[in-house]
Amino acid sequence: MLLSSTEPAAAFCRTRTCVPVECDPGSTSCISRRCQLDARGCVAEGAVSYYALPCLSFAIDGGSAARVGITHQQFLEIVEAAFTRWSSVDCPGGGKPGFLTATAGVVEVAGNHFCSAVPEANLGVWTFPEKWTHPSSSVGFTTLWLGGAGNVLDADVELNADWFGGRAGELTSVLLTVATHEAGHVLGIDHSQESSALMAAAYSDGLMTDRNLGPDDVDAICTLYPPASSQLRCPAPIVRDEGLDPSACRAAVDDGAGCSFEAPVRASQLVFAAVVLVAALALKRRRS
């Protein structure tokens, strides 16, 4: 999982535990923070994100899919297809990226949630929340919950139902592009400095349909997850109420079932801030 790319010209960035924050004008609750950047503009401070095992599990909030006019099965298939686009690339030198994804299927979730009292109960959930609490121009919001060493504890993705609502004719294609970009963030890839990359920080609205992974995206996924030398095996995803419902998490603490756990770094990536004819992807992280 260590960053050891032999391609010095690679433009992709890694997600790190240093959390740059840019406050909105007039904000009284936000503290600006800057992180050291390298020559490419990537955050160079803090530990890089990683998964303790090359096994990623996720679920979709089935009750939310109807907000954009699709079924929960269609929503699930699109997210699965997004991860498959990353896992099926041909890495330089042969082989596929060394990670596996497994779906826990359809769940009901009460918002973007991390249960620090029962960390093993957390599950990455994709949802179209009923109330969009992020900037109205944004299309997706991926939150990585990181331990102090950079280990990924949870990864939740929110999608803006209002933004997708007016795209009936191209909904599936655009949603796949957005989901693939978000899946890249879930996998630990920050924005790319290469304009042709799917993980680029901005590209025109017209290029949101049928957009494919570029060479820099392939470099990124194959560097973060080098092809495995043996067959990977992963445990089945665990679904527990504590990881889906804040009230169940609080109940676990009240019952003494929870344990003391270091507060994680919350690395939130604001992506696809669509303005007029441009889909501008802006990095925004917060520490909580």
CB-CB contact of 198 with 214 (8 Å): yes
User: Which of 5-19, 69-83, 237-251 shows the lowest mean pLDDT across its residues?
Assistant: 5-19
- Domains held by the chain: number: 1
Which residue, 102, 100, 95, is CA-closest to 223? 95
> How buried is 264 (Cβ within 10 angstroms: 0-12 exposed, 13-18 middle, 19+ buried)?
buried
Q: Percentage of the chain with pLDDT > 70? A: 78
State residue 95's pLDDT score.
Answer: 95
Range of the domain at 97: 55-280
Q: Is 244 helix (H, G, I), strand (E, B) or coil?
A: coil
Is the pLDDT higher at 12 or at 21? 12
Distance CA 244, CA 267 (A): 19
Better-predicted residue by pLDDT, 230 or 72? 72
Summarize pLDDT for 63-113 with one digit per residue, the tens. 999 999 999 999 999 999 999 999 999 999 899 999 999 999 999 988 788
Report yes or no on 81 lying in a domain: yes
Residue 205 domain flag: yes
The arithmetic mean of pLDDT across residues 134-157, rounded, is 86
Q: Calculate Rg over the CA atoms of the chain.
A: 18
Q: Provide the whole-model pTM.
A: 0.85
Q: Are strands 124-127 and 55-61 parallel, antiparallel or unpaired?
A: parallel
> Are the beta carbons of 219 and 7 closer than 8 angstroms?
yes
Residue 30 domain-assigned (yes or no): no
Mean pLDDT of 261-284: 44
Who has greater pLDDT, 210 or 150?
150
Does position 8 have pLDDT exceeding 50, yes or no? no
The answer to whether residues 210 and 173 touch, using CB atoms and an 8 Å cutoff, is: yes
pLDDT tops 60 at residue 30: yes
- How confident is residue 147, by pLDDT bands cut at 50, 70 and 90? confident
Give Dmax (Cα) for the chain: 54
**pLDDT over threshold 90, residue 20:** no
- Domain assignment of residue 31, yes or no: no
Handedness of CA 188, 125, 100, 51 (dihedral sign): positive
Q: What percent of the chain has pLDDT over 90?
A: 46
Task: Tell me, yes or no, whether 190 lies in a domain.
Answer: yes
Residue 15 CB contacts under 8 Å (≥ 6 apart), including other chains: 48, 49, 144, 146, 185, 188, 189, 190, 267, 269
The pLDDT tens digits of the residues spanning 195-228 come to 889 998 766 666 778 789 999 999 999 999 999 9
The two three-digit tokens of residue 211, written as one number: 């957009």
pLDDT, average across residues 114-133? 90
1 inside domain: no
- Is residue 263 very low, low, confident or very high in pLDDT (cuts 50, 70, 90)? low
Residue 40 lies in a domain: no
| 159, part of any domain | yes
The CATH code of the domain that includes 69 is 3.40.390.10
Q: What confidence score (pLDDT) does residue 257 get?
A: 52
